[in-house]
Chain A
Amino acid sequence: MEQTSIITFMTTEALFLPIAMAAASGLVGCFAVMRRMTLAGDALSHVALPGIGIAIALGINPLLGAVTMLFFGALLVWALEGQARVATETVVGVVFSVALAIGAMMASGEELIETLFGGAGVLSRGELVFGLAASCVVVAFILTQKNKLVVMLVSSDVARTAGINVRLLDFLYLETFSLTIALGLRYLGALLMGALIIIPAATAKQLARSLSSMLIVATVVALIATLAGTALAGHLHRGTGPFIVTTAGAIFLLSLFYRRR
């Protein structure tokens, strides 16, 4: 059965999804790393878990539950960022760790492992369509808004005086980030998807010397990790998530030996 699942996953049509997911992860991750939101982003990915648990309990599509919870998770991070009196990292850490615990309580053993770490399996038409459409949205957002995001990175006050709606752009970026997490839940799971967003971008930050080269390197690293990790997992008849993230981690380690001058 597992052999069949992996073969199905690797059909030409279904191969588009991990490629699209990797491209979206690489691009969105660049700004997450440069915004120093790696920990908040990782914690945000955990919020998908109770969403999946609730959806299963209600008998609706688990992906819908995950996307809904991720939307509200990103909204929470955004609202906390606007409150100077709240230590955002602390609250995010507490809220999303509790979300992980609640999700774990609602899921059974095997279901929980797959939700946390991803799995292969046959793709439904709906998953494929959602994945490709969401990937296009993420890639389009980053490519069209990258200049404004750069100005906001340098200084939100400079961005504001340059006519950028900083709060709106921040909100849209966080929602794009959460959509990217939703994209990877199928293959990497709620625990590991954050890693595919962060590690290729962190690698690119080591190697690149300009924004465009960072975006390209991060996308290529995410693609290599996804395809090589998936192939390796298929060969060994194991879940895909850990192999994809381990491959990305190995590339990151190699990048440390070839840091840009």
Chain B
Amino acid sequence: MLEVADLSVCFENVQPLHGLGFSVARGASLAVIGPNGAGKTVLFRAIIGATPFVGTVRWARDARIGYVPQKLDLDRDVPITALDFLAARKTLTAVSDTDISRTLELVGIPPGATRTPIGTLSGGQFQRLLIAFALLGKPNVLLLDELTAGVDAPGQRQLNELVASLQRDQGLTVLFISHELSVVYRYAGDVLCIGGGTAHIGPPRVILTPDLLRETYGTDVDYHIHDH
């Protein structure tokens, strides 16, 4: 679904990504981990064409990307409702009101929450709204940048399960950035670990080792595996 080769991104004197290469198979799940400033979000922005890069990024011809960003450009006090945001999809994709209702139900947004300004939504509801917008584009790839940041523990679990079920049921290819190594261990098929000037890719059991994490993060990293 995605092939990346010799990818480098440079901002003035900083080069967060240098010569990065990896590929993601259709229907696979790839987690991207690394310390703050390692270039995880830069990588996502590069592969969607939002940031200039050197190298090759090749998506499958039929790739339709649904993107859930970490950072929003929006003030939380603007009078835009969830319905305003989702209705915008109608002008971009063939989406009916039934599609919108079904998607809201799928992601777990109560109908009453759709008519209030989006700034009044909780962190979890807002993330669900972004997922709903992405899903209404009928994507076959999801890019999730710290999907559960700012969400309470039960909400995190629900969102992670939602994405896992979407991947399983609809065969979506999922690339996600996370700092929760236990979540990475549980949900990722492969892990791309970037930081400390190095990059490693492989299954969680191979990548999430104390030595490799110390090399990447520059310090010892503790995490608990919930492998059940």
A-B contact pairs, 30 of them (CB 8 A): A34-B78, A85-B12, A147-B87, A148-B92, A150-B84, A153-B73, A154-B73, A154-B118, A155-B69, A155-B73, A156-B50, A157-B67, A158-B67, A158-B69, A158-B130, A158-B133, A158-B134, A160-B48, A160-B67, A161-B67, A162-B93, A164-B92, A209-B79, A209-B116, A209-B117, A210-B117, A211-B80, A211-B81, A211-B84, A260-B79
Given contacts A147-B91, A205-B78, A209-B117, contact A154 B65 (CB under 8 A): no
- Chain B neighbourhood of A163, CB < 8 A: 92
Give the distance to chain B from A174, nearest Cβ to Cβ, in Å.
16
- Are A161 and B85 closer than 8 Å at their CB atoms? no
Chain A residue nearest to B143 (CB atoms) is A161
Given contacts A151-B85, A154-B74, contact A162 B137 (CB under 8 A): yes
Given contacts A155-B73, A210-B80, contact A150 B67 (CB under 8 A): no
Give the distance to chain A from B36, nearest Cβ to Cβ, in Å.
19
The contact size tier of chain B is 35 or more
- Chain A neighbourhood of B77, CB < 8 A: 205
Going nearest first, the 5 A-B pairs with the smallest beta carbon separation are A147-B88, A208-B79, A161-B67, A211-B84, A147-B91
State which of A154, A157, A212 has its C-beta within 8 Å of the C-beta of B45: A157
Judged by a CB distance under 8 angstroms, whether A84 is at the interface is: yes
* Number of residue pairs A-B, CB distance < 8 angstroms: 94
- Chain B neighbourhood of A34, CB < 8 A: 74-75, 78, 80
- Within B70-128, the residues touching A (CB, 8 Å) are 71-75, 77-81, 83-85, 87-93, 115-118
| A202-244 vs B, Cβ < 8 Å mask (1 yes, 0 no) | 0011001111111000000000000000000000000000000
The contact size tier of chain A is 20 to 34
- Given A153-B74, A211-B79, A212-B84, 8 other A-B residues pairs in contact with their CB atoms under 8 A: A155-B73, A157-B67, A162-B92, A163-B92, A205-B77, A208-B79, A209-B81, A209-B117
Given contacts A154-B85, A157-B45, A157-B50, contact A210 B72 (CB under 8 A): no
- Are A210 and B79 closer than 8 Å at their CB atoms? yes
Judged by a CB distance under 8 angstroms, whether A125 is at the interface is: no
Residues of B with Cβ closer than 8 Å to A? Answer: 11-12, 45, 48-50, 65-69, 71-75, 77-81, 83-85, 87-93, 115-118, 130, 133-134, 137, 143
- Chain A neighbourhood of B68, CB < 8 A: 158
- Chain A neighbourhood of B116, CB < 8 A: 209
Chain B residue nearest to A160 (CB atoms) is B50
- Chain B neighbourhood of A148, CB < 8 A: 88, 91-92
Chain B residue nearest to A153 (CB atoms) is B74
- Are B45 and A210 closer than 8 Å at their CB atoms? no
Bound Cα distance A167, B47 (Å) = 17
- Chain B neighbourhood of A260, CB < 8 A: 79
- Are B88 and A151 closer than 8 Å at their CB atoms? yes
- Chain B neighbourhood of A151, CB < 8 A: 85, 88, 92, 133
State which of A84, A85, A214 has its C-beta within 8 Å of the C-beta of B79: A214
Give the distance to chain B from A11, nearest Cβ to Cβ, in Å.
37
Bound Cα distance A260, B72 (Å) = 23
State which of A154, A162, A164, A213 has its C-beta within 8 Å of the C-beta of B72: A154
